[in-house]
């Protein structure tokens, strides 16, 4: 059964947002991210990975939201099979977000943890699926 293992918040203040979750809920910073499309950090409570992200361009954020968006950006599910979940998502009407997959250099199995493929879900919430899971989970 797929399990939620990752939630990503888009923010314009990575440090302040991370500090809030660290100080209020005792989360630990476990990694930082700095790439052409994203700056941020990953926090964990030992069970779930919470990404605090500031997108550098509209392509990496997804043009429907853009780099200035703040709020829940996407939710990540760890799954047993990328192929099986792709069929299930397709049947449910979810579309691969290859615009974002391409901008982030993902879209299939990755040798590391974290997102492997992004899809569009209901209400504009993006969905990550991964067989390998996320750091800190």
The model's pLDDT over 27-54, given as tens digits with 9 standing for 90+, comes to 899 999 999 999 999 999 898 999 999 9
Half-sphere exposure of 86 (CA within 13 A, CB side): 13
pLDDT by residue (tens digit) across 66-76?
A: 999 888 888 88
Tell whether the model's pLDDT for residue 111 goes beyond 80.
no
pTM for the whole structure: 0.72
Tell whether the model's pLDDT for residue 113 goes beyond 80.
no
Structure tokens at 23: 């100080």
3-state secondary structure at position 122? helix
Tell whether the model's pLDDT for residue 65 goes beyond 70.
yes
All structural domains of the chain, each given as residue ranges with its CATH number in brackets, are 3-130 (3.10.180.10)
Tell whether the model's pLDDT for residue 135 goes beyond 90.
no
């Amino acid at each position: 059964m797929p399990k939620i293992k990752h939630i990503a918040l888009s923010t314009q203040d990575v440090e302040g947002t991370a500090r809030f979750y660290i100080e209020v809920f005792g989360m630990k910073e476990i990694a930082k991210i700095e790439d052409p499309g994203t700056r941020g950090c990953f926090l964990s409570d030992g069970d779930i990975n919470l990404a605090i992200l500031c997108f550098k361009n509209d392509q990496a954020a997804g043009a429907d939201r853009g780099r200035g968006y703040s709020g829940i950006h996407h939710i990540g599910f760890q799954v047993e099979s990328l192929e099986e979940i792709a069929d299930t998502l397709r049947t449910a009407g979810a579309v691969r977000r290859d615009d974002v997959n391409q901008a982030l250099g993902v879209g299939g199995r990755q040798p590391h943890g974290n997102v492997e493929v992004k899809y569009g879900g209901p209400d504009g919430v993006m969905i990550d699926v991964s067989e390998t899971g996320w750091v800190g989970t």
